Amino acid sequence: APVTRHGFGLWADRGFDVLLWIIIGVSIVLRFRHLSYMEFKYDEYHLLVMAYEHVFGPGIAQTALNSSVGLYNPPGFIYLLSVPVYFTTAPIDVTAFIAGLNVIAILGLYIWVRKTVSHRAGLLVTAVFAVAPWAIIFSRKIWNPDVFLFFHLGCYALLVGLTTKYRAWKVLAFGLWFGLTTQMHLGAWFLPAGVVLYLIIARVKIRWFHALGSLLLFGLTYLPYLLFHINDHFANLRAFLDGRGSGEGGVSVLTNLVWSFRVTTGLETEYLLGERPFARFLEENGLNWAPTLFLIMAVAGAVAVLGTTIWLVVTRWRGRGQEWSSAQLAVLAMLCMFVGVHGACAVLGIRMYPHYHVIFYPLAAFALGGAVWGATRLGWVASWIARLALTTALVLSLLYSWKFQDFVVANPRGLYGGDYGVPYIVQEDMWLDRLSQELGRIYGEAEQ
């Protein structure tokens, strides 16, 4: 039941809401700050070229980049990039477009949680997600996993929406949107397992002709990709199935699970800078406390997910025969996706690198934000302790990301040891020259 507050309690609630909005606002600023120092390597360059060729060259894109397992990615991300590339091929501008999609996703996350749970739960969940250093880093790069939240959130909203209020257009829209979502990265090909699991547990009854239409729209998004494989005589697919570059055997399931919660904070950002630069980053900025904070937040997120799972099981058991609430369905959808992907990776022995885990971002944030929201309803002592602890963690996370960006700006040539590589600004002239030559060639061929 809603908690009604008066006097000081009401003003305290409103003040807390304003503080959370300020925190979310600063996290949005961090997604656009120092964009010229973004991560930019040959993958980003080739994606820009492929998008330009799709827009101005002959024909349409049938694939995106080749993946780490040797199988070409579907072309969905190229189609998405063609929107900004139609107007500009400047890497910074296109990256700003990606960051903008992530801002839309952040606001969409708030709207979705507000609708399924409550206004304050929406603010808490959104703030927890928005300040995570990994979430900020993976929202300012021309890279297909960086748009996962935008697409994945749409899938959640449509799934929960068609369950609570069935409409034909929701079923059809889900098929189309899910087709695009699964094209953003091969790791998303395991998401259908989660969808099937959700439909079974929630006992969603979909009319067969709506389901057929949804499947046809899903297949339509893959038509260019299918044509590529047909024209290639399935050589790329056969090479993949023969085992060249496929999954890594013996990968620890626990390692994959742990990474899912690491990336919901700022834990292990050493992966990006390299061991020595990262140690210097912590020392120079007085951030030696940060790994401990992020470890606490990651553990809290994992415990919150476990607690939320228990809450779902208990409430459904007690409410047998009753309809699912929107909050229960939201939790179920995220858990099913999580279990589906991790289960598939465990069976196939696939290592989940940090950027693969962006598809799980909302889960821990939803659970942790929901736990804090629950604590704020237990009484003023628990409420103030929860608010103070969370606000401190959120502000320190923002400080960490701010200092991280400053360190990259101050040391643009000293990041060779990590995955971040050389920032764009250092080699801007080289990249612009390469783009000018390659795009000029494509445009010239199209004019002939």
Dihedral pair phi/psi, residue 190, rounded to 5°: -90, -10
Pick the residue with more confidence: 284 or 446? 284
> What is the percentage of the chain residues whose pLDDT exceeds 70?
93
pLDDT greater than 70 at residue 248: no
pLDDT at 1: 46
**Assigned domain for 242 exists:** no
Q: Closest Cα to residue 334, out of 369, 299, 300?
A: 369
Residue 250: pLDDT band (50, 70, 90) is low
pLDDT for 2 equals 47
Q: Distance between CA 329 and CA 164 in Å, rounded?
A: 9
Instruction: Give the model's confidence band at 345: pLDDT under 50 very low, under 70 low, under 90 confident, else very high.
Output: confident
pLDDT of residue 416: 64
User: Cα–Cα distance between 369 and 127 in angstroms, integer?
Assistant: 8
Question: Does the structure show a pLDDT above 70 at 393?
Answer: yes
Is it the case that residue 245 has pLDDT exceeding 60?
A: no
Whether residue 20 is contained in a domain is answered as: no
Who's near 433: CB < 8 A, 6+ residues apart? none
Q: 319 φ, ψ to 5°?
A: -105, 35
> Rounded CA gap, 236 and 63, in Å?
11
pLDDT of 5 reads 52
Find the range with the poorest average confidence among 35-44, 210-219, 351-360.
Answer: 351-360
34: phi > 0 → left, psi -120 to 50 → alpha, else beta; which? left
In a domain, 119, yes or no: yes
| Region of poorest pLDDT, from 51-60, 107-116, 221-230 | 51-60
Domain that residue 321 falls in: 28-234+252-447
Q: How confident is the model at residue 421 (pLDDT cuts 50, 70, 90)?
A: confident
Q: What is the pLDDT, as a whole number, of residue 246?
A: 46
pLDDT in tens, 63-112: 999 887 789 999 999 999 999 999 999 999 999 999 999 999 999 999 99
Q: Does pTM surpass 0.85?
A: yes
> Which residue type does 216 have?
L
| pLDDT given at position 11 | 61
Confidence tier at 278 by pLDDT (50, 70, 90): very high
Residue at 262 is within a domain:
yes
CA 373/CA 388 separation, integer angstroms: 13
Locate tokens 């049938």: which residue?
62
Q: Decide if 347 is inside a domain.
A: yes
Locate tokens 């963690």: which residue?
A: 393
Establish if 197 belongs to a structural domain. Answer: yes
**Does residue 60 lie in a domain region?**
yes
Q: Please, which residues have CB within 8 angstroms of residue 394's CB and are 6 or more apart in sequence? A: 23, 127, 128, 131
Asked whether residue 9 is assigned to any structural domain, the reply reads no
| Separation CA 67–CA 355 (nearest Å) | 13
254 vs 215 pLDDT, higher one: 215
Distance from C-alpha of 424 to C-alpha of 35, rounded to nearest angstrom: 9
Single-letter amino acid code for the residue at 192: P
- CA dist 442 and 57 (Å) reads 6
Mean pLDDT value of segment 216-238: 94
Domain count for the chain: 1
Average pLDDT over residues 313-330: 90
- The distance from CA 299 to its chain's CA centroid, rounded to whole angstroms, is 20
Dist CA 396 CA 400 (whole Å)? 6
The predicted structure's pLDDT at residue 399:
98
Cα radius of gyration (the chain): 23
pLDDT at 336: 94
30 pLDDT more than 50:
yes
